[in-house]
Amino acid sequence: MVCDISYALTMICPYCASDTKVTNSRPSHKFPEVWRRRQCKTCNNIWTTREYLDLSTTHRVINRDSKIEAFQRDKLLLSIKDSLSHRKNSLTEASALTDTVLSRILTQKTAQISFTLICAQTYDVLMRFDKTAAAVYIAIHGENEE
C-alpha cells in the first residue's frame, strides 16, 4: 500500500489519495501480522492491508564469523526462491515458506538469531515441502554464508 509521509498515522486511499478508516481488524495467530479491512472516506472503495513487524528493526543475525547484522526478510525470501527455481510458482511458494520459517524462528523469543538456526529451520521447512529444494538450499547455504 502507498503511504504518504504527511499522513504518517493514516493510510491513504490507493484510488483517490484521500483519508481512510479501518472497518475491521484481526491479529494473525500464526504470523506476526495484523489483517485490516479499510475503506476510503471519500470514494468508499474497500481493500485489505496486512501490517507486518519490521524485523530489521527488532532482530539481529549473528553470522558464522560472529558479525551481527540486521535481519532481512527479503534475503531469506530470495534464498528460498532460488532453491525453488525448478518449480512453477516459486515466488508465491517462497513467500509462504518464508512466513513459515519466520514463525518458527520467532518462537525462539530472542532478538539475536544465529545464521545456523536460520539455515536449519529453512532446511527443515523445505524438506517437508520439496526435498529437491531442500537439497539445493543446503548445497548453497550449508558451507557459504548468505
Domain ranges of the chain: 5-52, 55-141
* Average pLDDT, rounded, for the chain: 86
CA distances 135 to 77, 125, 127, 130, 138, Å, are: 17, 12, 8, 9, 5
Q: Which of 34-43, 52-61, 118-127 has the lowest mean pLDDT?
A: 52-61
In the DSSP assignment, the letter for residue 12 is B
pTM higher than 0.85 for the full model?
A: no
Q: Which carries the bigger pLDDT value, residue 81 or residue 50?
A: 81
C-alpha cell at position 133? 529444494
